Every structure is written in C-alpha cells, then in structure tokens.
Structure 1
C-alpha cells in the first residue's frame, strides 16, 4: 500500500507548512506494535513491505515506514492502541492534520501517521480499507473483493500480515523500484491460486499491466 495523491491535488510541499511530511521516519518493527494492537481485540494486519518479509520469512530490504492494515470501521483502534501519541490524518492527500479520538474520518481519508511525540520520528502508518459486511472491497477498484477471513496470514512468530497477493495488488499500481523488488521476492513463494487471484485482480483494474506476463509463467 502507498500514500496517494490524486491528480490535481496540491503537491505535498505546498501544504506541508509545519514540516510534518518531511519529519523523519524510524519505523517500529512489527513485533513492537503487535502487542499494542492485540490488546484492542480488533482485527489488524501488518502490510506494505514488512508483509512481504513476513510472508517469505526473512528481511528482504530496508523499510522506510511500517504500514498497518485496518478496516475503516475499526479506525478508533489507532487511538486505543497508541494513547498519548501524536496522530495525524492525511486529509487531503499530501497534507497531514491532527486527528483526535472520537472523530470519524471521512471516506476519502485512508492514511494515518503516528509518532509518540513531536520530538520523535514517525513510527507507524495505518491504512484504512473498506469492507461490506464480511467482504473486503478494494478502494482502488470495487470489483476486486475478498472474504475478510482470506486476508489474514500468520507469521511463525504469530504476527498477522496481509495476504501477499492482496498486498502485491496494491503495489502493482505504483511499480516503484521497491514494489518491483517485492514482487521479485514474493513470486517464487506464491501458490498457484495466489498467482491466479493476483493476475485476475490486476487484469480487472489494468488489463495491459506488465506484471501479468510474469504471473503467467
């Protein structure tokens, strides 16, 4: 999953008057945030590049941030798990504003940045996703859906992470060097059904995507 800026939105530097976006990141490891999130009793998943690492069972690259997948309906988990932290919502994309406990974020806000205090680096980013009852609905393409129970994979140490084929579907839209690297690392470990699901999801969204040929091999 990636931080997005829609066409026509102001560039981040135009809105980042407080220097929040340029504040340094020093992401936590998944095992640091896991106990705090587990205590809420609500579902969550490690996402982003860390999810690919958990899938293949080793550290494959350095990570600029730590992404955590949450359902939009469970957004207050952020405040419950990180009391006293500075919590900001990307509203609109490219601009961070303080998000207080009890406020419901609007549908267009997907990213939440968190740090223990103004003097500390950013540690965790939460990504809000949509669901229709017990079905996950991609915010990139509502035709791409999956039962919620199929999104959760569990690492050897018990940490839950986002199904790699779903994570790669999100990464397919960016195709940054790190996204290409994550595909290269994960591809040999994907099962046939995982490859098929990823290929179909990409085909539904971007029929000429270059990853399709690689998934067909």
Structure 2
C-alpha cells in the first residue's frame, strides 16, 4: 500500500524560500507554494487518520506559512517549514503531538509544552511524591530508543515551595514535559516516513496515559472529572 510522502520538491521550495524570504519572491512563486503546501496537508491528514487508530484526536491544526513579526527582531515574513499539531480529545486526555518539516531541521514532538499553572503545580507535586512510575515508562529501552530523554525548559534551581535538594529535583524543576525526535532529510523523504512518525506517536501513549491520570486526579488519586 502506498502512503503519502514528503517529496524532494517540498524541500527544494522551502530552501528557496529561506534564501528569498521576501514578499516579492513569494508572490511570484505562490502557485508553487500552493502545490507544496497541498503535499504537506495531504501528509498531515493521512497521519491524522493513522493516529485515530490508537488515540482520540480532537483537532488537526496546520500552521500558516506567514510569520507574526510584530514582536520579533527578525522581520522576515515567512517561515521556511510546514508544521502541524494534533490535539487529544476531551478533558480526560491531556497532551498533544507536533510535526515539523524543515530541510535540515525536521522533528516530531509530544507532551506538554506550556501547562497552565494549576497543571504545572499538580505535576510537580506528583514528582515530589514519587517518580517511579514515570521512570518505569520513560526508561524502558524501546521508549528511550524512540524518544530519548525528557526535554523542555526548566527553572534554574527549584520552583517556589519545593526543596532544591529533593531527590527528584531534576523532574520537579521542569516547566515543560516534552519528548522530541529529530529526523534527517533522508528519513523525511523516505517512502515510509508517514508510518515511522505514526509509530513514534503510538509509542508515546503510555506516557500520555500516566500524565492524563495525574492531571485528572488529586494527590489521593481521587478523580477531578465530573
């Protein structure tokens, strides 16, 4: 069975856009942009259908090529990537997925990018009590071979109200709880890239299940859902 692929023409266009990041060039080449964008959107939508076989996905968001330059020193008007996020459905499911297609910088990510302060505090309190269940998931060989180590921004020492000498401080001081997997250009252009991305996202599910359970219960394990 043939699957949608990211073509070399997509990369070629994005490389050209990076070198000619101005409105005149983009306007002239907009017909080609629409073709390459359609390729990416077909890929994203096909991935969505595969993901629905192992998770409940509420929304696919394809990010626009136009940059918001209002508060940026970099005034180049266009991104030189195609990207999309996949949101999990319902209050009982937490976390999300992200796919980024860019020459020399393609990756997938999954987890909790910027939890609100209540969720962040709840996660930290959980890690203050115990990280054994978390470690049993993320230290598993098959998981680590796919996703590597837990990533994300963190505070320098310890969050307010937490002991900087706590044995689990490396987890407690995190502000984001994400995993990232990078792909080479050759891997992105491979005919089975779609299946590999879906396989990676499927492998993150035990982590999502644990985090969803944490974020929908109190420290006594009692449900917070109606």
Tell me the TM-score normalised to structure 2 length.
0.22
Rg comparison, structure with higher value: 2
Higher helix share: 2
Higher strand share: 1
